[in-house]
Structure 1
Amino acid sequence: MIDAALRRVSLRGLTAWVLALFLIATIATGVSIIAANRVTVARLVDRRIDVVGDLLLEREGRAGPVPTPALLTRIATLAGQRDTGDIGVLLLDSAGRPLGGNIRLRHALPLGRSDLRARAGIAGLSHGRALVRDAGAGRRLVIVAETEPFDDYRTQRTRIYLIGFGSIILIVVGGMIAFSRLVGRRIDEQRAAVDAIIAGDIRHRVPLTGSADVFDRQAAAFNRMLDRIGELMEGMRGVSNDIAHDLRTPLGSLRGQVARMAEEADAPEQAAWAQGALAQCDALLAMFAALLRIAEVEAGHRQAGFAPLDLAALVEETATMMMPVAEEAGHHLTFAITSRPAPFQGDRQLLIQALVNLIGNAIKHGRPGGTIHVELATTDDGGITLQVRDDGPGIAPEDHAQALRRFGRLDSARTRAGHGLGLPLIAAIARLHRGRLDLSDARPGLVVSMILPG
C-alpha cells in the first residue's frame, strides 16, 4: 500500500509531505517540551509550598489550631530565612482581612492550589503558584512561590525554544529545498536529453559532473543506453539507406530500358505493357526517394537550416498554390488563419512539403466533390496547430497507429496508388520541429493535426 502510494506522489509532492510532517513533528515536540517543563516546574513549586505550609501549621503536640501570635512569629521567622526569600506568606482572618505576612493580594484566592499572574498584584511576581490552606478558627494561610527564577523568564525560555527549533526547521527546509533543486536539475538534464533525442538529435547525452554519485552513475547508464540505441538505429538506418541507394541505381537503369522499350514497341499491347512496367518503376523509385527523405529528416541534419519564418504566410501561400490542384480533382479547398503565431524556427521547405502532402492525402482519400479545410491556430498554452480536415470516409480510431507506420497502408487504401510513406514522412517532419502528428475523427472525414511548440 505504501509503495503504491509513493509511486503516485511526485518529487515535489513528496518533498512537501516530508516538510509538512517534519514541521508538525517539530512544533509538536517544542510544544510538548514547553508543556512538560511548565508541569515539572509547577510540581516542584507545589511540593515546596506544601512543605512550607506543613512547617507553619505544625501543632507541636498541642491540641487545636496554632494560635495567631505563634503563627505570625513562624511567618516572620520564615520570611527572614535566606533560602525562602522567594516565598510569600499571608495570614487572613475569617473576614479575609490580613493578619500578617510579607505579601498583599489584590484579589481573594480560592482554597487549594491555583496559578498566579502579574494581575494578582504581588510585587515582583509575574508567574507563580499559590496554596490556600485552612489555618483553623476561620483563618486562611496563603503561601505563594514564583515559578520563574527571574523576571520574564518564561518569555525568554519561549524565545530560546523558538530560536532553537526555528533554526532546526530552517536548516531542514533549506536542505530539502537544496535537495529538491539538485534532484530537479538532474532530472531536467535527463528530460532535456530526451527532448533533444525526440527532436532528432540522437547524439545528445546527459552531462556528467564527475562526482560519481548516484545521479552521475544513472546518467552514465542512461548515456550508455543511448549509445547502444544510437548504434542500433544507425545500423538500421544504414541498412535501409544502403538498400535504397543500391536499388535505386539498377531501378533507374531498368526504367531507362523499359522507357526505351515503350518507345520502340511495335504492337499496342507491348506498348501498354511497357507503360505499366514504367509506372511501377516510377512508383518504386518514389518509394525509395521517400525512404531516403524520411531517413534524412529523422537524422536531424536539416536542423542546421532552421530559420525564423511566418507560418501564417506559409500556410496561405501553400493553400493558395494547392487550390487549382484540388479543383481539378473535384474538391473545394478552403483555409483559415484563426490566429497568427509568433515567428517560428523551422525548415521552410520541409513544412511546405508536409502541408502539400497533407492536402494531397485529403484530395486522394476525401469524398469526391467534398470540401478540404486547412486551418492554422494557436493553443492556450502557446502551441501551434496546423490542421487539414476532409469529409471523406476517414480512418477508424483503432487504425490511426497503423496509418502512421511506414508502409502502414490500410486495407481500404490498397487499391489506390501509393506506398504508405506519406504520413510517416509528415510525422518525421513534425518530430524534427519538436512537434507531433495526431489523427482524429472529423465525423465525417479525417482531421490530421500537426502540433508544434510555440
Structure 2
Amino acid sequence: MASLRALTAVFLGAFGAATVATGYTTYTATSGAIVRLVDERVEAVSRVLLSEARPGDAATILQGIDAFARRRDSGDIGFELRDARGRRLGGNVIVGRALPIGTFDLREGDGIAGLTAGRALVRDAGGGLRLVTIAETEPIDGLDAARLRIYLIGFGAMVLIVMVGTGAFGLLVRRRIAEVRATAEAIIDGDMARRVPVDPRGGVFAAQAVAFNRMLDRIAALLESVRNVSSDIAHDLRTPLARLHARLTRLAGQASSAEIADELDEALAQCDELMAMFAAILRIAEVEGERRRAAFAAVDLSAIVTEVAEAMVPIATEGDRRLIVEGGGEVPLRGDGQLLSQAAFNLVENALNHTPPGTTVWIGAARAGTRAILSVRDDGPGIAPADRAAALRRFGRLDASRHQPGHGLGLPLIDAVARLHRGTLTLADGAPGLIATLDLPAS
C-alpha cells in the first residue's frame, strides 16, 4: 500500500505541475496575443491618421485627431501630439510623461483618465512632431484579474477532478488488493475453499479474480489429490498390516526356538513402527482437514503444559534426564485441547529421545501480548541451522541412514497442529541445545 500511495502521490504531483505549467503558459500566451492585437491596431490607426496629413502639419493632424475622436468605434483609442521640445500641442488624452519613439506599456499610475492598462506607440510625425497613439489592453476594469480567476478556477477544477478520480481509482485498487490478500491469508490459515470475490458486472478486475480463483481451484485439487493418495495408502495398508501383526504375534507364541522368537519379535517391532507411521499420516491428514476448528473451545495452555509434564516426568527420570516446568499463570486461547496436548507431549518426547543422559529439558507456557507461547528447550546437542528445515519436513530424518528409531512425522504433525490454530512452529538455537516454540494467537 505504501508503494501505491507513493505512486499516486508522484502521479498527482506530476499532473499538478503539468497543469500549473499549462495554465501559466495559456495565461501568458493569451495576454501576449491581446498585446499583439492592440499593437497592430495602434500601428494601423496611427499610420492612417498620419497618412492624411503632410509631415510636420500639426493643424491637420490635430483636425484628424478630432475627427477620429467623434467616431463611435474610437472609444478605446487616444492621441496626443507633442512638438520637438516635448510640449503638448493637443489631442484627446493627456499622457503624464514624455515618451521617446517606440512602443511602451501603460499602467494606471501613468495618470491617463479611464485607462487601467494599455499600450502606447510613439511615431515621428515630421518636423520634430511626435504622435502618441494609445489603446487599452484592458477595456474593462479588472479584466486581467478576472481572466486570472477564470484560469485558476478552470485549471483548479481539472486538478480537483483528477485528484478525486485518482483517489477513487486508488481506493478501488486497494480494495481489490485487500480482497486478494485476505483470500491468500485465509488459504495460508488452511481455508482452501476461500476465493476472491468476483464483480458480477465484469471488467478487468473481475477477469483477474476469475483467473486467480481458477488457479486456486487447481492448487486445491492437487493438494486434495496428494492428501487422498497418502490417506488411501495408509488406510489400505493398515488392515493387512494389522493382520500381519496378529499372525506374527501368533507365530511368536508358537516359536520352537529362542532364535526364531527373537526374529519374530523384531518383525513385530518393525510392524508396529509401520502401523505408527500410517497412524501419523492419517492423523496429519485429519488435522489438515480443518474440520476440527468447528470444535474449538477455551483452553488453558499452562494447564496443558502442567498435565503433560506430570505424565512425562517418570519417563524422563527413567532415562536419566530432568524435566522442569517453567512459568505459571493462566494462558488462555481457543483451540483443540487434545491436539495441543499431543503437540506438547510430542515436543517433550522428541527432546527426551534425541538428547543424551544427563540432559535437562524445560517446558513452559507464557503469554506475550496477543500471543500464547509454548516452548520446549533442552541443553543437548541441538539441531544445526541447515538441518532444521529437514526436521520439519514429512519423513525428514537427520539420521540419513535411518539407524535411529522414528518415522520423521512427529514435528510435521506438531506443525500441522500449529497451523490449524493459525500459529507457527519454529526451531531455534538454545545455545546450547534446541528451543522448539509453538506461537499461537491468545484469547
Q: TM-score over 0.5 for the alignment?
A: yes
Query: RMSD across aligned C-alpha pairs, in angstroms?
Result: 3.9
CA 1:93–1:361: 2 relative to 1, 3 Å: farther
The match for 2:410 is 422
CA contact (8 A) 1:327 1:333 kept: no
The match for 1:188 is 178
CA contact (8 A) 1:91 1:101 kept: yes
The match for 2:271 is 281
1:23 aligns with 2:40: no
The correspondence of residues 180-329 of structure 1 with structure 2, limited to 5 A, is: 180-259=170-249, 269=259, 272-309=262-299, 313=302, 317=306, 321=310, 324=313, 328=317, 329=319
Q: Deviations over 1:223-269 (max 9, x none)?
A: 33333333333332222222222322333344445455556667655
The match for 2:155 is 165
For 1:231 and 1:378, the matched residues in 2 are separated by 38
Any idea what SS the aligned residue of 1:84 has? Answer: coil
Which letter maps to 1:281? C
Which letter maps to 2:18? A
For 2:256 and 2:187, the matched residues in 1 are separated by 57
The match for 1:33 is 26
Which letter maps to 1:420? G
Which letter maps to 1:29? T
For 2:267 and 2:396, the matched residues in 1 are separated by 24
For 1:184 and 1:377, the matched residues in 2 are separated by 34
1:431 aligns with 2:438: no
The match for 1:87 is 77
Which letter maps to 2:414? I
Aligned length, in residue pairs? 438
Which letter maps to 2:408? G
CA contact (8 A) 1:331 1:368 kept: no
Any idea what SS the aligned residue of 2:73 has? Answer: helix
What are structure 1's unaligned runs of at least 5 residues?
1-8
For 2:297 and 2:114, the matched residues in 1 are separated by 83
Identify which of 321, 342, 353 aligns with 1:364. 353
CA 1:152–1:187: 2 relative to 1, 3 Å: same
**Shift of residue 292, structure 1, vs aligned partner:** 0.9
For 2:355 and 2:138, the matched residues in 1 are separated by 91
CA 1:200–1:72: 2 relative to 1, 3 Å: same
CA 1:16–1:138: 2 relative to 1, 3 Å: same
For 2:85 and 2:347, the matched residues in 1 are separated by 106
For 2:330 and 2:83, the matched residues in 1 are separated by 96
The match for 1:6 is none
1:129 aligns with 2:122: no
**Shift of residue 90, structure 1, vs aligned partner:** 4.1
Moved more, 23-32 or 253-262: 253-262
CA contact (8 A) 1:130 1:144 kept: yes
**Shift of residue 111, structure 1, vs aligned partner:** 6.0
CA 1:135–1:367: 2 relative to 1, 3 Å: farther
The correspondence of residues 67-86 of structure 1 with structure 2, limited to 5 A, is: 67=58, 69-86=59-76
The match for 1:355 is 344
Any idea what SS the aligned residue of 1:189 has? Answer: helix
**Shift of residue 395, structure 1, vs aligned partner:** 3.2
CA 1:134–1:325: 2 relative to 1, 3 Å: farther
Identify which of 123, 131, 135 aligns with 1:145. 135
Identity of aligned residues (%): 51
For 1:73 and 1:155, the matched residues in 2 are separated by 37
Moved more, 268-277 or 425-434: 268-277
TM-score for the superposition, normalised by structure 2: 0.80
**Shift of residue 290, structure 1, vs aligned partner:** 1.2
Q: Deviations over 1:247-301 (max 9, x none)?
A: 2233334444545555666765555444434433332222122111110111111
For 2:330 and 2:20, the matched residues in 1 are separated by 55
